[in-house]
A and B are shown apart, each in its own frame.
Chain A
Amino acid sequence: MQTMRKFLLILLCLSCCAGALHAQGRHEINAFLGGYKAEFLQADNTDFFGFVFGNLDFEVTHSGDLADLYEPHYYIQSSPVLTLCYHYSINSWLRVGAQADLSYLSGKITYNMGNRPRTQFKQTMLDLLPEAKFMIPGSRHFRLYGKVAAGVQMNMGTLMSSSPVEFAWEIAPIGAEWGGQRFYGNAEFCWGNVIRGIRIGMGVRF
């Protein structure tokens, strides 16, 4: 966890330093790291900070009432989501493209009462989503944007999810790009069943 945080800080610094000025290309490739899979939020061992930063240093206990006795309990480990995007600039405010996301979940489902057995799972998820990115006018070195994407999620392994292929969607209501015309850094807040939370990335235009 500490290693990942250091890495994200280094990525942020590099993205801020990037940028010789070049003519802006219409193609861009963007890589991100961060956020957590939506399934992870079902976990009994997470909290708001774990949702945002992945800090899971303590377990959240339940209230010991009837729901605690009879409902399933999820204990989940999750990797951050690795995302790779490609966009093509249609015009100054619209870019279209696609994203691919890779992540890993493992854990167990238990019950406090009853004869239902404990279930373990190890699941790798690959999401493929066409997407549209809407740029808000700004300066040459800083712009805000929003993004929407919809596609499929393929689940592999011993599944926590019920289906090997599921509909996937994501909205990034707010994102920011900074840096030069060719290399830039960006960060966005995402919501959907692909990823939830903040992810940080770097990109190149050509």
Chain B
Amino acid sequence: MKKYIVCFLAAVLAISCVKGMDPDDTGVVGGHSDNYNQKGRTYMMNMVDQLFAPMLEELEQALDVDSRQLGQSAHFDINGSLQTPGSVWKVKAKDSALYGMTLRCQREEYWTLSFEGDYLLGDDIQYYDGNNVYPTNITMAVCREYSPQDDKPVLGWYCELQGERTEREGYSCTFHSTNTPMYSSKREGLQFLNTRGADAAGWDKVYGNLYMSVYKNKEQVDVCCLSFEGSPSLATFTRGL
């Protein structure tokens, strides 16, 4: 009987020496790279690329529809001319990510865009769960101006915005560009300056600062700023403000 027990225990000890016990063979250390703060910059750039710019595109499209005086549109719920103060249009196309967005004319060349709903930021193909869709609330005051320059005037969109977004695990953020009213002579908002025609989708110069406050369970954990001084790729990200 003792021989059986000794053999059994010997087998157990042999098992513990098997190569398969080597932790290097049992798993793979994740290949996550230490991109210090890079993801924060990407997050805020996604706001500009994937939320603010599309909102301006909607306004451009609406002004184009308005200029042709069609009176009706499959994409917009039309209520008078969008150049008339007080008129309000709405995005009614259900396949639009900005379905429900309202466009209100405040005065000549000055509109307020508002959106409230679930919105995707980030690349839903890239990420594992593809579900970076969270409630987002944003109001954007927009002023259109043409700046005289040599051959042709340069279209500029001056945007002053504020909003909030609520995400998982108690995280949320609020964001804004400036507190300066848009109708003052001093414009400090996030300015989209575009030199490629009149298309916000092709904006290639951006000036101004976008601020974001991050909260966890309603307690502020961080304040970040994305600062633009021309080329979007050269935007500076800072945090811990």
Contacts and interface: CB of A to CB of B under 8 A. Distances in A.
Nearest to B214: A66
B185 interface: no
Interface of A: 1, 3-7, 29, 31, 33, 43-46, 50, 54, 56-71, 73, 75-80, 82, 84, 102, 104-108, 110, 112-115, 118, 182, 202, 204, 206
A113 B29 CA distance: 20
28 contacts: A1-B25, A1-B27, A3-B19, A5-B20, A6-B20, A7-B20, A29-B5, A45-B28, A54-B27, A56-B27, A59-B32, A64-B132, A65-B171, A66-B43, A66-B167, A66-B172, A67-B168, A70-B214, A70-B222, A71-B169, A77-B24, A77-B26, A104-B23, A105-B23, A112-B40, A113-B222, A118-B34, A202-B8
Given A3-B19, A56-B27, A77-B27, A84 B12 contact: yes
B171 A66 contact: yes
B68 interface: no
B207 interface: no
Interface size class of B (residues with CB under 8 A): 35 or more
B28 A56 contact: yes
A1 B26 contact: yes
A66 B175 CA distance: 13
A108 B28 CA distance: 12
Given A64-B43, A64-B127, A75 B32 contact: yes
A1 B22 CA distance: 9
A78 B9 CA distance: 24
Given A61-B126, A112-B37, 6 more contacts: A57-B28, A65-B122, A67-B167, A73-B32, A78-B23, A202-B11
B43 A69 contact: yes
A77 B20 contact: no
A26 to B, nearest CB: 13
B21 interface: yes
Contacts of B9: 29
Select the residue from B25, B30, B239 with max chain A CB neighbours within 10 A: B30
Interface in B2-16: 4-5, 8-9, 11-12, 15-16
- Cβ-closest 10 pairs across A and B: A4-B20, A45-B30, A75-B30, A66-B171, A3-B20, A56-B27, A77-B27, A67-B169, A31-B12, A64-B122
B72 interface: no
B42 interface: yes
B26 A204 contact: no
B131 A63 contact: yes
Contacts of A63: 122, 127-129, 131-132
Contacts of B172: 66
B184 interface: no
A44 B30 contact: yes
B193 to A, nearest CB: 28
B205 interface: no
A85 to B, nearest CB: 11
Nearest to A122: B23
